[in-house]
Structure 1
């Protein structure tokens, strides 16, 4: 093909791809339309159900699903509202308390918009020094919140699973390079621990399930006995994983006492604080988390306790050199352009090379709302959990469970007759199908238990009262025979 023919072909292709780059007027119209849609959605959040039927995902059908030419923006947004926003869980709802939610701060949504539009590559300092500086500033602030000393380092991740994996790889390289070291955790450790050990090549590491006390916290005495038994048998204690807020009950293990045992036996002390670690920001939470600053590594989820959108985790390592030792790598085709004063490149602290500019969704809300607002919101959630526990204690028939360490309340209803586990399962199903509030359940020592996880920044005392009302409606329906 001649150069002239190629030129003509290129011009034809250029015209065909024009929808990918709308002009300024089209961008303004599309942006305003999308913003109006988002604002309308947020306006409906206070009264919208916390759960809607899954079948609504097929309320409309696109045919074909992926068209050759673009659709009208209004019809696409209508489809999105009907088939994506409405069905299933509404984690944006103030009455969503089934699982620890990703909050979805509006400030963070704006941060994501700015990050996506600028499309800064935040892996290398030489490529985007401003973006890297923000991430390093954000992780340094997180380290300050949990009480880590100077010399700590961290990186933002997609969530707690990758944060825990990153920490375990660093712990493996620093303290179990040859393998054979034993791992210690309770039965309440998040299942991502098992996945991380598998990915890190430690699936067959000796795993000791440490007993818990009456409040579902790791028993210091049981841990001490397990460490001593292994040391005496010539098995090296490698990794102790404690929880700063378990999934089932929100329990916080006795971190300071565990840290002392880890120092005595030379074990790496990792805290899974994905749910609760950042409660260290408020005084009430800090008291519960005493000793978290003594750990060697921590997994955190700002998309939980700092109310950010899903996809915002973090890992911190007390001695940041361990992250660099495990993850720093280079090649001729990605050699940095030079040294930078903004700190290490996130790609050298993390398994990820290509990465979203996550820091802006954390940095921007802290700038616009201020740290004090986050501190107050956390303290309110802790108080709301205690309030729910107190309300349940006052209502005949409820076993309110242990006093919550953080913001999860694990409780049961005790019917006058019949199988209490079956009754509580039916009660949960009734509440979920009603859809006004969302709770979840678990089994603790074989007993079916209801869970209320209070952590949305939108959840306030009137919404906790609605939980009580929904439970009482469900109990009345079940006991009246309205639900079999």
Structure 2
């Protein structure tokens, strides 16, 4: 046997003594043959003294080396000063730097500066960040970043993150950080009020819309009592414009075999409530189990909002779970223009919002709201004996028991701080501004030669395309003709237009002053102008349209 280890059979011995100390073994008879670490036995007292002395010296050496993790006040001062200077420089220049730098080669140099045993200076570290991270790829803080769904970068939130990291509070369980949990729960209740949910609603702050949508699927599954044998017959209803994370969530939730129905849309690419009703009736008549409706409060493709009130009526009459993906659009409920478009959202069973989109917070801030919070616990709860002390407090619902996460970032502080400092008013005004900027861009684009615009924006995304003369198509037609000859002609015309618009967006990306993205809608390539940054104002929309015109002219001449 190795020195310092004593093998004990729990059936034969319940306690033993070593060097005058008594060691009590567990009385649980299911525990067998434990090895207990004890000081090495010796008849030579001097040997023990020497060993203890060596251990103390060794511990002192380790402590000295580990002290680097505990910076002195002087070292902290240097960190604060230099990082503050770097951050100030970034914020002061963010509006002037390109919206996109297409090169992906510069950051390869990071691979030649691996993590080392001894570390490097703060100046050198910040230089690496400046050279290889902050000046390549998307500048999502730019006011001319008009692609995908613009995210936040609100400086006030950065201070919230800083304080959360410094404080080190564990925000998952009430027992651990009562104030942090109450802060998150208060924010959940505030969001529930914004969207019109009743007092019994609940939810949690997530890392983003994908995880929140996954949680919604799991909550709907458990609330409906579905089990593995039921999945093949369970039907989910959504449109072709539903975010791909919904399908991903179904697969992760073990429901990859469930049936997906892509419900017909109207001419604005919104779910048809009439078609939904008919599809549900047909599925029920054929012996299937209609289960879940997923509607959009602002699709990523076009920003369109499904007729939520009509869909809610269909869900209610058919006893289906009605989920709304409002990751992009739900926060527009803060402003009057958005409230009108989002009517009926308050009737949903569950709702996803992304504060890191239209509340302008940093990446990694999502939220799930459930109309009846009682459904969250059974879907996400779990217990461990090592959590017994934490479980004893039931003053507030803990996020750890309502969500997939046990280890949890203190996200609430990045949301709470700007809302407390600024109030809701500037957020409401900013969201109204984005809607009106999108309407302004839509009107101006209609005056451009050779431009076809999509449907008028519901929120803050405008879709359009340029059509070269040789591929002229009379309108931005989202429907398909039944005439075979017309189909062939349209396909050739669209091919020319598609190639032109793909070349146009690639040229815009190489330029980098303005960032727009493309998408396909029923096979047609269109461009998207998404207004979402809190820094984007009228001057930036005008600049974006001027850059766009410049590249269209150049492409036509080439």
8 Å Cα contact 1:56-1:83 kept in structure 2: no
Identify if the C-alpha distance between structure 1 residues 387 and 447 changes in structure 2 by more than 3 Å, giving closer, same or farther.
Answer: same
Moved more, 383-392 or 22-31: 22-31
1:428 alignment partner in structure 2? 505
| CA deviation after TM superposition for structure 1 residue 64, in Å | 4.3
2:124 alignment partner in structure 1? 75
Moved more, 133-142 or 174-183: 174-183
SS where residue 469 of structure 2 aligns? coil
8 Å Cα contact 2:101-2:509 kept in structure 1: no
Moved more, 438-447 or 16-25: 16-25
Identify if the C-alpha distance between structure 1 residues 430 and 22 changes in structure 2 by more than 3 Å, giving closer, same or farther.
Answer: same
| CA deviation after TM superposition for structure 1 residue 59, in Å | 7.6
Counterparts of 1:62 and 1:475 in 2: how far apart (Å)?
39
Counterparts of 2:237 and 2:274 in 1: how far apart (Å)?
13
The TM-score normalised by the length of structure 2 is: 0.84
Rg (Cα) greater in structure: 2
- Alpha-carbon displacement from aligned partner over 1:44-98 (angstroms, at most 9, x marks no partner): 0111100113345338557541122121111110110110001000001000011
Identify if the C-alpha distance between structure 1 residues 474 and 398 changes in structure 2 by more than 3 Å, giving closer, same or farther.
Answer: same
8 Å Cα contact 2:184-2:204 kept in structure 1: yes
Aligned counterpart in structure 2 of residue 86 of structure 1, from 120, 125, 135? 135
1:376 alignment partner in structure 2? 429
Aligned counterpart in structure 2 of residue 287 of structure 1, from 331, 340, 345? 340
Counterparts of 1:24 and 1:284 in 2: how far apart (Å)?
51
| CA deviation after TM superposition for structure 1 residue 175, in Å | 1.0
1:477 alignment partner in structure 2? 554
8 Å Cα contact 2:102-2:509 kept in structure 1: no
1:456 alignment partner in structure 2? 533
Moved more, 62-71 or 107-116: 62-71
1:168 alignment partner in structure 2? 217
Moved more, 33-42 or 60-69: 60-69
Moved more, 363-372 or 51-60: 51-60
Counterparts of 1:342 and 1:134 in 2: how far apart (Å)?
13
8 Å Cα contact 1:132-1:342 kept in structure 2: no
Counterparts of 1:93 and 1:82 in 2: how far apart (Å)?
18
Counterparts of 1:64 and 1:380 in 2: how far apart (Å)?
44
Aligned counterpart in structure 1 of residue 175 of structure 2, from 126, 140, 145? 126
Counterparts of 1:335 and 1:97 in 2: how far apart (Å)?
49
1:242 alignment partner in structure 2? 295
SS where residue 328 of structure 2 aligns? coil
- Alpha-carbon displacement from aligned partner over 1:213-243 (angstroms, at most 9, x marks no partner): 1111001111011111112222221000000
Identify if the C-alpha distance between structure 1 residues 203 and 412 changes in structure 2 by more than 3 Å, giving closer, same or farther.
Answer: same
Q: Does residue 15 of the first structure (1) align with residue 64 of the second (2)?
A: yes
What does 1:144-293 correspond to in 2, within 5 Å? 144-178=193-227, 179=230, 180-293=233-346
Counterparts of 1:453 and 1:118 in 2: how far apart (Å)?
36
Q: Which has the higher contact order (CA 8 A, sep 6+)?
A: 1
What does 1:324-473 correspond to in 2, within 5 Å? 324-337=377-390, 340=393, 343-418=396-471, 419-473=496-550
| CA deviation after TM superposition for structure 1 residue 338, in Å | 5.9
Task: Give the RMSD, CA atoms, in angstroms.
Answer: 1.3
Counterparts of 1:107 and 1:64 in 2: how far apart (Å)?
32
Counterparts of 1:126 and 1:40 in 2: how far apart (Å)?
40
Counterparts of 1:61 and 1:115 in 2: how far apart (Å)?
28
Counterparts of 1:428 and 1:96 in 2: how far apart (Å)?
13
Counterparts of 2:391 and 2:313 in 1: how far apart (Å)?
42
| CA deviation after TM superposition for structure 1 residue 456, in Å | 0.3
Aligned counterpart in structure 1 of residue 98 of structure 2, from 49, 55, 66? 49
Counterparts of 1:236 and 1:417 in 2: how far apart (Å)?
50
Counterparts of 1:382 and 1:310 in 2: how far apart (Å)?
22
Q: Which runs of 5+ in 2 are unaligned?
A: 1-39, 41-50, 472-495
Counterparts of 1:161 and 1:425 in 2: how far apart (Å)?
28
Counterparts of 2:106 and 2:402 in 1: how far apart (Å)?
40
| CA deviation after TM superposition for structure 1 residue 186, in Å | 0.5
Counterparts of 2:306 and 2:556 in 1: how far apart (Å)?
38
8 Å Cα contact 1:176-1:238 kept in structure 2: no
- Alpha-carbon displacement from aligned partner over 1:161-186 (angstroms, at most 9, x marks no partner): 00000011000000142323211010
8 Å Cα contact 1:60-1:82 kept in structure 2: no
| CA deviation after TM superposition for structure 1 residue 369, in Å | 1.2
Counterparts of 1:337 and 1:476 in 2: how far apart (Å)?
66
| CA deviation after TM superposition for structure 1 residue 32, in Å | 1.4
8 Å Cα contact 1:129-1:340 kept in structure 2: no
SS where residue 354 of structure 1 aligns? coil
Counterparts of 2:392 and 2:189 in 1: how far apart (Å)?
20
Counterparts of 1:218 and 1:9 in 2: how far apart (Å)?
69
8 Å Cα contact 1:133-1:342 kept in structure 2: no
8 Å Cα contact 1:252-1:405 kept in structure 2: yes
Identify if the C-alpha distance between structure 1 residues 342 and 49 changes in structure 2 by more than 3 Å, giving closer, same or farther.
Answer: farther
Counterparts of 1:386 and 1:64 in 2: how far apart (Å)?
47
Query: Across the two proteins, how many residue pairs are aligned to each other?
Result: 481
